[in-house]
């Protein structure tokens, strides 16, 4: 780089002498521009290159970070999609399990209700049978009581003293004959 600067400095006076006045002025402007560019390149080259390299490194780092974030985001999205799919399947499984459980509970409740109804019918039939037997027994007792009272009334009305005596004798004979056996 320095070589160019030296060459320009050495060639500048010759170019000025050889050119005409209008062309000399233009040539000097070109030479000044070339000198300015040479000086800028000589002194600003390393900081500009360092800045450009740092900038390139920063951009590269940002791109790598962005790519990593993109990969992480895609991975997280895939996991969430998997989880969402599993959640749908889990939801369906929970619904099916709940449905089966509810149906089983309904069957059990119905079976219990049927068993309770059967027990109530059986108990009611037993109560009715017991009440019927008790009513029959009371009726028989009442009928027997009424028959005894009717027989006693008939006997009082129709039996005479001699009939009574004869019945007592027959009773005693029957008791005595039963005792001999």
pLDDT in tens, 27-67: 778 888 888 888 888 888 888 889 999 999 999 999 999 99
Buried/exposed code over 101-136 (b: 16+ C-beta within 10 A; e: otherwise): eeeeeeeeeeeeeeeeeeeeeeeeeeeeeeeeeeee
Please state the domain extents for the chain. 2-159
pLDDT of residue 59: 93
Residues of the chain with pLDDT under 70: 1-24, 179-181
pLDDT of residue 85: 80
pTM: 0.37
Distances in Å between the Cα of 97 and the Cα atoms of 83, 90, 91, 103 are: 20, 10, 10, 10
CA distance 142 to 23: 162
pLDDT of residue 10: 62
């Amino acid at each position: 780089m320095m070589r160019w600067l030296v060459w320009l400095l050495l060639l500048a006076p010759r170019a000025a002498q050889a050119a005409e006045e209008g062309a000399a002025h233009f040539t000097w402007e070109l030479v000044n521009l070339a000198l300015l560019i040479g000086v800028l390149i000589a002194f600003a080259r390393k900081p500009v290159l360092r800045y450009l390299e740092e900038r390139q490194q920063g951009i590269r780092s940002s791109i790598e970070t962005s790519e990593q974030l993109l990969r992480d985001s895609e991975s997280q999205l895939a996991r969430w999609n998997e989880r969402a799919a599993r959640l749908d399947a889990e939801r369906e499984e929970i619904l099916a399990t709940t449905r089966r459980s509810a149906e089983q509970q309904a069957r059990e409740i119905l079976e219990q209700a049927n068993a309770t109804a059967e027990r109530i019918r059986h108990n009611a039939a037993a109560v009715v049978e017991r009440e019927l037997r008790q009513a029959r027994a009371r009726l028989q007792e009442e009928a027997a009581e009424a028959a005894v009272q009717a027989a006693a009334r008939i006997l009082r009305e129709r039996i005479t003293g001699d009939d009574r005596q004869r019945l007592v004798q027959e009773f005693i004979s029957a008791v005595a004959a039963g005792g001999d056996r």
